[in-house]
């Protein structure tokens, strides 16, 4: 897509393993956003989610001055002018919404990361897990299937737990076997789910120690919608955690904000 330096409307397109997100901004304001499942085609998901965000804003593709793509599928977005790593975009997006943020915990469908953020929104340090499903949204999906729950039910269910189970396995396959055994022992569904949340939070909390946790800590990604994981993370790192109103769009927001700088 050609760069339109006369147009200050920009877009960020974040194509993740589970969902694709587009945010459209102008003059430091969010005009619209959209979130859809990624499905089997990065290119198609990027086009579809961007079309949805444009429609919501009453715009069309030629109205965009610059587009930056991010996420694991960033190089598959044909209409993007530039691709930027999601680490940089998440830091920038969080800094825009919560300037006091110094640590970002992002848990998506297939990876998790802890990012240190400077006052100017740049990254000071980060650590990422993208090799193992444990500590990701995929781990929660597998466990929800084992228990016959919808993924959206897990957070509320865990809040009623009396004695969370100890899930010792860090491998998704072994943890699934462990879950089956605990269920056979008669452990309640509430305690099983709470144990799952603790296992995810523990893995992420330990992973992030190399970066360090400094207030304010912000939780982003689809898993941030799970109150059980949020509570377990707060307990694990010993600090309060903030969650943006739309935690899934932070990477796309950061990309859209960075796109504006390309027009200067």
Please state the rounded mean pLDDT for residues 27-35. 95
User: Percent of the chain scored above 90 by pLDDT?
Assistant: 77
Q: What's residue 139's pLDDT?
A: 87
Does residue 68 register a pLDDT over 60?
Answer: yes
Please state the rounded mean pLDDT for residues 133-156. 88
Does residue 21 register a pLDDT over 70?
Answer: yes
- Per the DSSP assignment, residues forming a β-bridge with 11 are 24, 67
Does residue 214 register a pLDDT over 80?
Answer: yes
- The residue among 222, 212, 220 whose CA lies nearest residue 241 is 220
Q: What's residue 1's pLDDT?
A: 66
- The residue among 45, 112, 68, 24 whose CA lies nearest residue 262 is 68
The dihedral built from the CA positions of residue 204, 114, 173 and 161, taken in this order, carries a sign that is positive
Helix H, strand E, coil C: the string for the chain is CCCCCCCCCEEEEEECCCEEEEEEEECCEEEEEEEEECCCCHHHHHHHHHHHHHHHHCCCHHHCCEEEEECCCHHHCCCCCEECCHHHHHHHHHHHHCCCCCEEEEECCCCEEEEEECCCCCEEEEEEECCCCCCCHHHHHHHHHHHCCCHHHHHHHHCCCCCCCCCCCCCHHHHHHHHHHHHHCCCCHHHHHHHHHHHHHHHHHHHHHHCCCCCCEEEECHHHHCHHHHHHHHHHHCCCEECCCCHHHHHHHHHHHHHHHCCC
Please state the rounded mean pLDDT for residues 1-20. 85
CA distance 161 to 192: 8
Q: What's residue 51's pLDDT?
A: 98
228 pLDDT band, cuts 50/70/90, is very high
Please state the rounded mean pLDDT for residues 43-59. 98
The lowest-confidence range among 99-113, 155-169, 220-234 is 155-169
248 pLDDT band, cuts 50/70/90, is very high
Q: What's residue 179's pLDDT?
A: 83
Q: Is the pTM of this model over 0.85?
A: yes
Q: What's residue 253's pLDDT?
A: 98
The dihedral built from the CA positions of residue 183, 189, 190 and 193, taken in this order, carries a sign that is positive
């Amino acid at each position: 897509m050609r760069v339109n330096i006369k147009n200050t409307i920009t877009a960020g397109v974040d194509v993740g393993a589970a969902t694709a997100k587009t945010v459209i901004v102008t003059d430091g304001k969010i005009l619209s956003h959209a979130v859809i499942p990624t499905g089997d085609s990065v290119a198609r998901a990027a086009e579809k989610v961007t079309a949805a965000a444009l429609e919501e804003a009453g715009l069309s593709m030629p109205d965009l001055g610059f587009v930056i793509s991010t996420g694991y599928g960033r190089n598959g977005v044909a209409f993007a002018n530039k691709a930027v790593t999601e680490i940089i975009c998440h830091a920038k997006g969080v800094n825009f919404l919560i300037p006091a943020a110094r640590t970002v915990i992002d848990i998506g469908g297939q990876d998790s990361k802890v990012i240190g953020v400077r006052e100017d929104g740049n990254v000071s340090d980060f650590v990422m897990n993208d090799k193992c499903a444990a500590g990701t949204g995929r781990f929660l999906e597998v466990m929800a299937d084992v228990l016959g729950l919808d993924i959206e039910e897990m957070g509320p269910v865990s809040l009623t737990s009396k004695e969370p189970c100890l899930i010792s396995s860090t491998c998704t396959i072994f943890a699934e076997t462990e879950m089956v055994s605990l269920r056979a022992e008669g452990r309640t569904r509430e305690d099983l789910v709470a144990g799952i949340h603790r296992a995810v939070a523990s893995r992420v909390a330990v992973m992030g120690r190399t970066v360090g946790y400094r207030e304010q800590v912000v939780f982003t990604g689809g898993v941030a919608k799970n109150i059980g994981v949020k509570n377990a993370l707060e307990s694990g790192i010993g600090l309060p955690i903030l969650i943006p109103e739309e935690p899934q769009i932070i990477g796309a927001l950061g990309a859209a904000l960075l796109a504006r700088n390309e027009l200067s």
